[in-house]
Structure formats: C-alpha cells, structure tokens
Amino acid sequence: MSERISIVMPVFNAAAWLEQTIASVQEQTHEDWELIAVDDCSSDDSFRLLQEMSQGDGRIRPVRQEKNGGAAAARNAGIRLAQGRYLAFLDADDLWKKTKLEKELAFLKERQAAFAFTAYEFGDENGIGNGKIVRVPQTLSYREALSRTIIFTTTVMLDLGRIDRSLIFMPEVKSEDTATWWQILRAGYTAYGLDENLAVYRRPKNSLSSNKMEAVRRIWNLYRTQEGLSAAESLWHLFFWAVRATIRRL
C-alpha cells in the first residue's frame, strides 16, 4: 500500500519564507510526498517562486486560486487535490524537522489512528527555535480539546483511509483549523499526540504582542456558533483555555 503523504500548504504573500519552508520538506527522510502549495492570490513573488521550485522537484504542485478566499478555502482546495493515503498540513512560514514525516507516519500506523499531532517549538523570525517546546498529551478527545487548543496545524497528520474526507474540509470561519479538529473529534475520533518536537512555529517579534482579545472572541464564537454550547459551558471551557494558552506562551 502506498505511503504517499499529501502536504497541503496555503500560501499568501509568503515569498520571504517559502524557500526555507519548502527546503524543510525536501529534506524529509520520508521521501514519498507531494506538496500541494495553494497560492491565495498573493501580490508578491510567491507563485513565481513556487513555479520555479516545482521545475526542480516534480513533487511540488503549485496551484493558484482564482480569487482570494482565505486560509480555509486554500486548504480545502488542496485537500480536494490530495492523492496520497495520508494528509499533512504545513503553513508557509513554519518549518519541519527532517524526521517529521517519517516519525509521525510510523506513530500513526503503530497506534492504528486516524489523527495524529506532535509537539513543536516556538521560533524567531529566522525560523530558529528558542527552546520553548509545547508538549502534547498522549490522547485528546473532543471534550478535552474544547478547553485545550494545543493541536498546531503544522504538526497534524491524518489517515484518509480511516477518516472521511468530508470531515476534514475546513469551515470558513476564524480559527478554521481549530474548528476542523473539533469537527473530527466530535465525530468520535481520538487525536493521538506524539510528544516529540518535530516542527518550528515561526513567530516574529512583533507577533508576540498579538491581540489577545481577538483570540478570545474567536474561541468564544467557535463555542457558541460552531459547537452550539451554552453560555455557561462556553465560559467554563474558555476559562481553562485561557489558563493553558497563557502557560503555553510563558
């Protein structure tokens, strides 16, 4: 059975990061992959760079959206085109350790799981890890995930042989990736955590002071509209979410 991994990467004005990010894919010890890079109408050189890199490596598949639709629409376009048995996500400014795909695939198969995610490290604007590693639990259920948004999109791997693709399409809402993980877990799946640092989450200095109230609004909106939770339930989960989110960034 094929062990090809389809990697979906939304791209929007990411020319400054693309070469380094894609190099981290090309350096993977697991070589059976396709990178579906969906350009969401970038105004910089992103799509040109993708085309140039694809000429040197046929595993890179550049796709350009007809109109700007946001990250969810771009990822959904990539999901539709995925040809591999396994599906992974990568943001255009993040990085993978060389053994990320190999180790996570082995872990997914060992657990006979449909959904896996890994630990990761915060990095600076140059993609250099700062030593702050976010550890992950062995398993995560739907109820646990509601107050613990610890699943980082760049670390996710899904088995399309075990999970229906319709559950993976992302809703076009803010924090669409979190909404998608909840959607999958709500359907009865369990997410399995590989507690090994296999990715770098690039966070430029100016992003560290991002609008915390906006993050609260997003998570609250997901509780109330996507999940249909009562105000009391939402407040309960929001409290623990805030505590854990703060600890994770200390």
The pLDDT value given to residue 106: 98
- Ramachandran quadrant class, 113 (left: phi over 0; alpha: psi -120 to 50; beta: rest): beta
pLDDT band at 210 (very low <50, low <70, confident <90, very high): low
Query: Is 0.85 topped by the overall pTM?
Result: yes
The pLDDT value given to residue 186: 97
The pLDDT value given to residue 204: 66
pLDDT band at 249 (very low <50, low <70, confident <90, very high): low
Q: Mean pLDDT throughout 121-131?
A: 90
| Confidence check: pLDDT of 224 > 50 | yes
Cα–Cα distances (Å) from 168 to 79, 86, 163, 184, in that order, read 8, 12, 8, 7
The pLDDT value given to residue 208: 38
| Confidence check: pLDDT of 171 > 60 | yes
The pLDDT value given to residue 241: 87
Q: Mean pLDDT throughout 38-60?
A: 96
- What is the spatial distance between Cα 144 and Cα 72, in angstroms, rounded to a whole number? 24
**Could you read off the pLDDT of 50-72 as tens digits, one per residue?**
999 999 999 999 999 999 999 99
- Beta-carbon contacts of 27 under 8 Å, excluding residues fewer than 6 positions away, are 98
| Confidence check: pLDDT of 191 > 50 | yes
Q: CB count, 10 Å around CB of 56?
A: 8
The pLDDT value given to residue 13: 96
Q: Mean pLDDT throughout 113-133?
A: 93
pLDDT band at 8 (very low <50, low <70, confident <90, very high): very high
Cβ atoms 182, 149 nearer than 8 A: no
pLDDT band at 209 (very low <50, low <70, confident <90, very high): very low
Q: Mean pLDDT throughout 154-167?
A: 96
The pLDDT value given to residue 220: 92
